[in-house]
Amino acid sequence: MAGTLSLDAVRRGLLAELETILAVDLSPDDARKPLPELGVDTRGLVELFVAVETRFGVKLMELGLARADLETIDAMAAAICRGA
């Protein structure tokens, strides 16, 4: 569960999942870039949601996220840590 993880651990986990989804190498700096800039489309976002649920046990759709929470990996990591 994300509640026992640090923000940094969640950020690293999200980057790892996104690397798998996109089949690219990402750097820690990429966590601050807008997801579309990294190549994430609607399908990729859905895959990332599923990966988050599997990896962290958090259902993003139940957290009442704002659009801003989905703009970057950093924003998603913060939302996961807040909601878990």
β partners of residue 72 = 34
Segments forming the whole domain that contains residue 70:
2-83
What total number of domains does the chain contain?
1
Q: Give the CATH number, domain containing residue 17.
A: 1.10.1200.10
What is the rounded CA–CA span in Å between residue 25 and residue 28?
A: 10
What is the pLDDT at residue 84?
Answer: 59
Q: Which of 18, 23, 50, 52 is nearest to 35 (CA)?
A: 18
Per residue in 3-12, pLDDT tens? 477 899 999 9
Per residue in 31-75, pLDDT tens? 999 999 999 999 999 999 999 999 988 888 888 889 999 999 999
